[in-house]
């Protein structure tokens, strides 16, 4: 069996991460998606899924790949609660809905890349993966006038090859430690429970603002209120990673 490291770390120069990783044994993590295992190792690029933080803070992250009906109400809710989040947008969606991208930025949220085609990168060769990331980068930059630096591969699907390609294109791959499973529309109460039950400092929460996630709008204000009640503050990915301690976790 191959033993793999999954890191939770702040944004550092990768040679520093590798230097720290050299002191540890390798581990492996199988993620929520049944199609993919998250692979990293002590001498390869890493995926960030949370940070070690002394502060009670979490990052709400939203994937958007199609539709516009759900995104605006979610943005309205975030604005009403005066907090910011990170939105990972599919570039094919962004070029169809530039006005929503503009609203995301106007409200002070952070923009990340969710690729161009919403397909599993792990099923592609490296050249096709690179082309998709580069196409998405160009379109998001043209639409937003922002240069994305974080990548969440479509479907959360990545392996060592994807991580290597992303690193070579100067992207940090951002995964998640809390999965709301809102895309399955399991009910508002279940979404709230999925997010708030086991949340810890430095968690990255996966939510969706695509039209397929029909219950996120109703669940979001409850999630915010409950996490605030537990003493948590809300950060973008960049804010969450800044000042966080480098840490690794051995998982089998």
pLDDT digits (tens, 9 = 90+) for 206-231: 999 999 999 999 999 999 999 999 99
Q: Percent of the chain beyond pLDDT 90?
A: 73
Q: Is 220 helix (H, G, I), strand (E, B) or coil?
A: helix
- State the Cα–Cα distance between residues 56 and 187, nearest whole angstrom: 27
180: region left, alpha or beta (phi > 0 left; psi from -120 to 50 alpha): alpha
Q: Mean per-residue pLDDT for 150-176?
A: 95
C-alpha 234, offset from chain centre: 14
30-40 confidence digits (pLDDT tens): 333 333 334 44
pLDDT of residue 44: 76
pLDDT of residue 242: 87
CATH numbers and ranges of domains, the chain: 49-239 (3.20.20.370)
Mean pLDDT across 167-178: 96
Task: Report the share of the chain in percent with pLDDT over 70.
Answer: 79
The reported pLDDT for the residue numbered 43 is 64
Tens of pLDDT, residues 85-124: 999 999 999 999 999 999 999 999 999 999 998 899 999 9
């Amino acid at each position: 069996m191959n033993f793999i490291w999954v890191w939770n770390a702040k944004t550092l120069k990768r040679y520093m991460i590798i230097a720290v990783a050299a002191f540890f044994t390798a581990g492996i993590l199988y993620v929520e998606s049944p199609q993919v295992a998250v692979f990293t190792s002590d001498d390869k690029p890493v995926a960030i899924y949370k940070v070690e933080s002394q502060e009670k803070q979490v990052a709400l992250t939203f994937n958007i790949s199609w539709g516009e009906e759900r995104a605006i109400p979610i943005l309205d809710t975030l604005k009403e609660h005066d907090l910011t989040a990170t939105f990972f947008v599919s570039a094919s969606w962004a070029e169809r809905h530039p006005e929503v991208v503009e609203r995301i930025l106007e409200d002070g949220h952070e923009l990340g890349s969710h690729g161009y085609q919403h397909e599993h990168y792990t099923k592609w060769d490296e050249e096709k993966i690179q082309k998709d990331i580069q196409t998405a980068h160009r379109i998001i930059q043209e639409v937003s006038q922002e240069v994305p630096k974080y990548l969440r591969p479509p479907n959360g699907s990545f392996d060592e090859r994807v991580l290597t390609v992303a690193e070579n294109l100067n992207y940090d791959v951002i995964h998640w430690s809390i999965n709301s499973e809102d895309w399955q529309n399991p009910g508002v109460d279940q979404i709230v429970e999925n997010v708030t039950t086991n949340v810890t400092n430095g968690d990255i929460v996966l939510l969706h603002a695509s039209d397929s996630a029909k219950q996120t709008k109703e669940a979001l204000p409850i999630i915010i209120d409950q996490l605030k009640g537990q003493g948590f503050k809300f950060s973008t990915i960049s804010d969450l990673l800044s000042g966080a301690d480098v840490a690794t976790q051995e998982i089998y």
